[in-house]
Amino acid sequence: MYYATLTQVRQYLKLDTAETGDDTLLTNFIAYACKYAELRAGVLFHPLNTTLYFDVPMGEKLQFDDSLLALTSVTNGDSEVITLTDILYYPASLYPKYGIAIKPSASQTWTGDGNGNNQQVIALAGVWGYHDDYSNAWVSSSDAVADALGLNASVTTINVTSAAGIASDLQSPRFQAGQLIKIDNEYIDVISISTNALTVKRGMYGSTAAVHATAAPITIWRPMGNITFAVLRLVAWRYRQKDANIFDTQTILGAGVKVTPSAVPPDVDALIPELIHLVYSQT
C-alpha cells in the first residue's frame, strides 16, 4: 500500500485528467516517499499481523520498542495463554501501545519456560504498526463485495457496486489504486481499478487470503494525516525537480557552506515523527 495514492498526488499537483504521461514516474516517487517516511521514523504506518517474542520483564510491565495497535493473543513463557481481559495496556487510552502488564487480580504472572529460559519466551500476537488514532484508522467504504458467488481465496479481482462513490468519511473516489482495504480479517492491496472491478493483491501484511461472502463489507485503511501530507509534499518536490538532476548543491560562503536545495524539504521531516522503532518486513 501507499500512504498517499496516485489520485491524491494528481489532485495535489492539480494535473488535468488528460495529463497521465508521468503517472508511472509519480508512482515511483510515491514508493520512494513512503519508504523514506518509514526509514526516518523506524516504523510502519500500516498494520502488520505478526507474532513478536519478548523477554520476561524484571517488573510487572512488559515494555517493547515496537508499536502495538491491537493484541490477538498473549502466550506466557510457560506456554499458558493469558486471557486478554487480564491485560493492562500502556498508555491506557492512546495509540499505539508500548507496554502491557498482567492485572494484579489475575492468577498468572510473567514467567519463563520450563527450562529456566527467560529470553524471547513471551509471544504477543497482534496488529503492529504506528497510528495515533487507530480507533478511526479503518473507515467504511460504504460498499461491499458485489461478486454474485462471493470471493474464493485465489481470485485477484473484486467487483464492487461503485468504485467512484463516496466513502463514509466523505473521501471520493472511495476506492483508489494504492489503498489498503480489509474484508473480514484479510488485508488486501488495491493495485488498479477498471470501472467497478478492483485488481488486488490478496493476503497482505501477515493476513491470510480467505473466502468472503457476497455483500461482505469493505473497509479502507486511512494512514495518519501528517504522513499522507508528508508523502504528498515529498512527491511534489521530487517531481518538480525531475529535470534538474541536482538535489544538493554546496556553495562555499564566507560564513560557511550553504547547501541548496536541502535534500528534503524541512516541513516534510517535521511531519514525520522520529520514533526509530523496528522497521518490519513488508513481504
In b/e form, how buried is each residue of 243-263, taking b as 16+ CB within 10 angstroms? eeeeeeeeeeeeeeeeeeeee
CB 70 within 8 A of CB 281: no
Helices (H), the chain: 6-13, 23-41, 225-240, 266-271
Same domain, yes or no: 32 and 60: no
Q: Which of 128, 162, 192 is the last residue of a domain?
A: 128
Q: At what angle do helices 23-41 and 225-240 cross, to 10 degrees?
A: 130
Same domain, yes or no: 124 and 179: no
Pairing of strands 197-201, 186-194: antiparallel
Dihedral of CA 168/173/10/37: which sign? positive
The domain tally of the chain equals: 3
Burial class (CB in 10 A: 0-12, 13-18, 19+), 174: buried
- Kindly state whether residue 133 falls inside one of the protein's structural domains: no
How many degrees, rounded to 5, is the angle at CA 112 between CA 106 and CA 113?
115
Q: Which of 221, 244, 263 is the last residue of a domain?
A: 221
- Separation CA 191–CA 198 (nearest Å): 7
- List the domain range (segments joined by +) for residue 76: 49-128
Same domain, yes or no: 203 and 226: no
Same domain, yes or no: 28 and 60: no
DSSP string, 230-271: HHHHHHHHHHHTTTT--S-EEEEETTEEEEES-SS-HHHHHH
Find cell 473484486 and name the residue. Answer: 158
How is the chain split among helix, strand and coil, in percent rounded to 5? 20, 30, 50
Q: Digits of tens for pLDDT over the chain (283 positions)?
A: 999 999 999 999 999 999 999 999 999 999 999 999 999 999 999 999 999 999 999 999 999 989 999 999 999 999 999 999 999 999 999 999 999 999 999 999 999 998 999 999 999 999 999 999 999 999 999 999 999 999 999 999 999 999 999 999 999 999 999 999 999 999 999 999 999 999 999 999 999 999 999 999 999 999 999 999 999 999 999 998 876 655 555 455 555 654 444 567 888 888 998 765 443 333 3
- Separation CA 44–CA 283 (nearest Å): 12
- Kindly state whether residue 134 falls inside one of the protein's structural domains: no
- Kindly state whether residue 196 falls inside one of the protein's structural domains: yes
- Kindly state whether residue 10 falls inside one of the protein's structural domains: yes
